[in-house]
Structure 1
């Protein structure tokens, strides 16, 4: 099965990013495909390399970058939501790219299921 993923919440203020990451890992481990992960609204905060969690906390941004590197997952950040939050190409973490809402629509069309995490 091919999944498209939509994340609407930031990495540390809501469980959505952790749940989405765990869902993606489990799906890939079971042989499913992740077409694209689209970060929207506060979810774009998952993409900034400026995040510095404490040493004893998980690094959600780094997890996403590693997932993209190891599995070729397309991590797309909504341009309008990113710019509103001061996120530009210069401060994107590895594996992320900025694009428009058309990428979300395309993922919804190409995927068997579009799964949303966060409000």
Structure 2
């Protein structure tokens, strides 16, 4: 299993089609005993929160966010955590909106 996410910050690798998270979005993660949570903002996201669980290198969480236009939305995401050659962590994500149409894939990498 890769190291804990607790206290680590991540940034989107690129903009996502059908999503609002982009290169300007930064996530601050916390982890304790199989629970994960984070807050995030930047780019098209004014404020976002996620909460879920971790089993090994798999995350399963729900997210809720407020975008720059003042609209709220929520969804579900499953992520796979891996370690890059330089020691930083990466999460490859498959997500879907639950409050509106749309789904996709994205990635975030640890900011050092």
Higher relative contact order (CA 8 A, sep 6+): 1
Same fold (TM over 0.5): no
- If each structure's strand is expressed as a fraction of its own residues, which one has the higher value? 2
TM-score normalised by structure 2 residue count: 0.27
- If each structure's helix is expressed as a fraction of its own residues, which one has the higher value? 1
